[in-house]
């Protein structure tokens, strides 16, 4: 495969090369890539801004993460944050710190993934930056969205008796990561210095791999709720695990909760993989993270309406703060929820 050194294009040439085919589709995108700043016009709506930084060796491992998938995931996790505010994502900026081991073709793959996610969610790329790195790849994405003031949902609006709901299923991304790490260990212990081709054992595990490598932001759930006339009282996306995110909502809302273990949605592949690893599948669902499903609360009187929606599960209810934040096990035992999800090692 042809390899073009980044130095051949230079910084501005590289940006032009990666962004030359970008077309703006949102009316709020007045001017995008090509000047000192983008120009946006939101005509009286509230503007939502979120940013994430991902670094090689901490947030992703290029041993098993293709650059196209990394681009898609990097965009998706930011788009998910806008949906978690009940907003609509509109623009994205992409900044990269790149070491010399990456070629122009590598970055084309990355941008192809970013563009796929943007096209799926109707988002314009309007800017970014590139710089050199001495330690590998770093990705910084900022997503900008919009919402009417009355539609925005914060984490602090949950009230006692509200229903706790979650989209999709949980723990799959974490089990996908465990599988990738296991096969990476097998590769390094048996095939790293071998000329024999290495075939990882992924048969029948495609779903959990996709949940880790290509997570989907749940804009479909936001549309479903809007079409049903339901505005959540509090909402968050699940990046660090169900337990951590539910505790965030309870802390910021000044409430307790009852979460029912038997109601936590688990996919079949997730359960099979957890058994193979001799792990408790509910522990994986509570603490695994990176599912990017939406966790939200709705008033009790909307029980019938929310129950009729597809791919949304009722998993508990909000209580008074004195009742604590509890997981109710299958046997009826109450255990205090702990925030044991992923944390960056800054301490």
pLDDT of residue 126: 95
User: Is there a domain that residue 157 lies in?
Assistant: no
Burial per residue of 280-312, b for 16 or more beta-carbon CB atoms within 10 angstroms, e otherwise:
ebbebbbbbbbbbbbbbbbbeebeeebeebeeb
Domain termination site, one of 151, 183, 217: 151
Domain termination site, one of 130, 151, 172: 151
The verdict on 168 and 140 lying in the same domain is no
pLDDT of residue 201: 74
CA distance 148 to 314: 27
CA distance 76 to 273: 25
The verdict on 255 and 121 lying in the same domain is no
CA distance 92 to 109: 17
User: Is there a domain that residue 42 lies in?
Assistant: yes
The verdict on 213 and 275 lying in the same domain is yes
User: Is there a domain that residue 200 lies in?
Assistant: yes
The verdict on 173 and 288 lying in the same domain is yes
Domain termination site, one of 151, 179, 197: 151
Among the residues of the chain, which ranges form H helices?
A: 10-19, 67-83, 104-121, 172-190, 206-213, 219-227, 242-253, 268-276, 281-287, 303-307
> Mapping DSSP to helix (H, G, I), strand (E, B) and coil, where does residue 214 land?
coil
The verdict on 146 and 261 lying in the same domain is no
Q: What is the pTM of this model?
A: 0.92
> Which stretches of the chain drop beneath a pLDDT of 50?
342-347
CA distance 60 to 96: 14
Number of independent structural domains in the chain:
2
Distance of CA 54 to the CA centre of its chain: 12
CA distance 1 to 174: 33
pLDDT of residue 169: 98
Angle at 169 between CA 176 and CA 230, to 5 degrees: 145
User: Is there a domain that residue 133 lies in?
Assistant: yes
The verdict on 168 and 278 lying in the same domain is yes
User: Is there a domain that residue 158 lies in?
Assistant: no
Domain that holds residue 270: 163-336
What angle in degrees, to the nearest 10, is found between the helix axes of 67-83 and 219-227? 30
User: Which CATH number fits the domain that encloses residue 24?
Assistant: 3.30.1330.10
User: Is there a domain that residue 346 lies in?
Assistant: no
Residue the block writes with tokens 């992923």: 342
User: Is there a domain that residue 103 lies in?
Assistant: yes
User: Which CATH number fits the domain that encloses residue 260?
Assistant: 3.90.650.10
The verdict on 137 and 178 lying in the same domain is no
The verdict on 138 and 173 lying in the same domain is no
The verdict on 329 and 185 lying in the same domain is yes
The verdict on 108 and 168 lying in the same domain is no
- In terms of C-beta distances under 8 Å and separation of at least 24 residues, what long-range contacts does 24-30 make, across chains too? 24/124, 24/126, 25/122, 25/124, 26/90, 26/91, 26/122, 26/123, 26/124, 28/90, 28/91, 28/146, 29/90, 29/91, 29/124, 29/126
The verdict on 280 and 194 lying in the same domain is yes
User: Is there a domain that residue 341 lies in?
Assistant: no
Q: What is the pLDDT of residues 191-247, one digit of tens each?
A: 666 666 667 778 899 999 999 999 999 999 999 999 999 999 999 999 999 999 999
Residues 6+ apart with CB under 8 A from 289: 173, 174, 238, 239, 240, 241, 244, 341, 342
The verdict on 127 and 87 lying in the same domain is yes
């Amino acid at each position: 495969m042809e390899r073009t050194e980044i130095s051949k294009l230079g910084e501005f040439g590289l940006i032009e090369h990666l962004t030359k085919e970008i077309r703006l589709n949102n009316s709020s995108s007045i001017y995008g890539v090509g000047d000192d700043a983008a120009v946006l016009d939101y005509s009286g709506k509230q503007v939502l801004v979120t940013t994430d930084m991902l670094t090689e060796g901490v947030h992703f491992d290029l041993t098993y993460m293709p650059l196209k998938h990394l681009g898609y995931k990097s965009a998706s996790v930011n788009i998910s944050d806008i949906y978690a505010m009940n907003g609509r994502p509109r623009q994205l900026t992409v900044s990269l710190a790149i070491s010399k081991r990456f070629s122009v073709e590598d970055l084309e793959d990355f941008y192809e993934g970013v563009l796929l996610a943007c096209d799926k969610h109707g988002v314009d790329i309007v800017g970014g930056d590139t710089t050199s790195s001495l330690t590998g790849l770093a990705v910084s994405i900022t997503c900008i969205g919009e919402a009417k003031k009355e539609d925005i949902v914060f984490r602090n609006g949950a009230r006692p008796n509200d229903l706790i709901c979650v989209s999709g299923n949980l723990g799959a991304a974490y089990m996908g990561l465990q599988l990738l790490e296991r096969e990476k260990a097998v590769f390094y212990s048996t095939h790293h210095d071998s000329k024999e081709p290495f075939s990882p054992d992924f048969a029948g595990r495609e779903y959990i791999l996709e949940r880790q490598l290509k997570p989907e932001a749940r804009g479909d759930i936001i549309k479903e709720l809007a079409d049903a006339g339901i505005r959540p009282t509090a909402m968050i996306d699940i990046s660090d695990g169900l337990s951590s995110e539910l505790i965030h909502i309870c802390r910021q809302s000044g409430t307790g909760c009852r979460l029912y273990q038997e109601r936590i949605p688990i996919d079949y592949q997730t359960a099979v993989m957890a058994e193979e690893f001799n792990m408790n599948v509910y522990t994986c669902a509570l603490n695994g993270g990176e599912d990017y499903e939406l966790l939200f609360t709705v008033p009790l009187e909307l029980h019938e309406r929310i129950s009729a929606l597809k791919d949304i599960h009722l998993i508990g209810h909000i209580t008074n703060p004195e009742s604590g934040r509890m997981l109710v096990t299958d046997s009826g035992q109450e255990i205090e929820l702990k925030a044991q999800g992923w944390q960056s090692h800054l301490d």
